[in-house]
Amino acid sequence: MQEKDKTRRKVLIGLTSAVGLSGIPFAATPFIAAWNPSAKAKAAGAAVKLDVSKMQFGQQIQVAWRKQPVFIVRHTKESLASLDLSVPKLADPNSDLIEEPYKGLNPSRSKNPEYSVFSGVCTHLGCAPKYFPEVEPKPWDATWNGGFFCPCHGSMFDIVGRVFKGVPASTNLLVPPHMFDGSILTIGEDREL
């Protein structure tokens, strides 16, 4: 009789253990799922794709990436040829003070020499610089060659986002990772990095 009880007990313990173990995945799934980023968090860091072929030469557009503005400028040949005119005014013409992903690749600081892609946030206090592409005297610079002026505290950047000397902003506008696939620009992703 005692042998039957032991066998019966072992069978019951085995069945109870099997049922309990089979329930672990059902109980653990919500906890594991909670560790995954939400759809909102994934979208906030997701890459942004846009077709830049419709941009006019000299035009600047703005998109949002990671809840921050990013400026895209399509350069004219003349504006790229005149980049050297700004060099004496610049604090960091070669982006030596910041980590720049495409340093030395193109004068436009981008993977495509025709476009510049950089943060639309002033490196002083986070204001939004305004685009003034005209080569003409401005109240803030009598020898203006085109570029960006931050109306908050007077910081100036050239047409490719390099900071001028003697302004409150300390560094060039930051260049996010990006890539071009024909006329499709993807910001926040670079297969070659």
Per-residue pLDDT band at 193 (split at 50, 70, 90) = very low
Helices (H) and strands (E) in the chain, counts: 4, 9
Strand pairing report for 178-181 and 68-74? unpaired
Quick: pLDDT tens for 9-55.
Answer: 888 788 887 777 777 777 766 666 666 655 655 555 688 999 999 99
Model pLDDT, residue 45? 66
Residue 181 is predicted with a pLDDT of 92
pLDDT at 40: 58
Q: What is the pLDDT of residue 28?
A: 67
Mean pLDDT of 113-142: 91
Residue 3: per-residue pLDDT: 75
- Pick 110 or 4 by higher pLDDT: 110
Task: Indicate the average pLDDT of the chain.
Answer: 86
pLDDT-above-70 percentage for the chain? 89
Q: What are phi and psi of 25, to 5 degrees?
A: -60, -35
Q: For 158-188, what is each residue's pLDDT tens digit?
A: 999 999 999 999 999 999 999 999 999 999 9
Question: So what's the pLDDT on residue 13?
Answer: 82
For the stretch 98-122, pLDDT in tens is: 888 888 888 999 999 999 999 999 9
CA distance 90 to 149: 14
Question: What Å distances lie between residue 21 and 26, 27, 28, CA to CA?
Answer: 10, 10, 11
pLDDT in the model for residue 115: 95
Contact residues for 121 (Cβ-Cβ < 8 A; gap 6+)? 68, 69, 127, 128, 173, 174
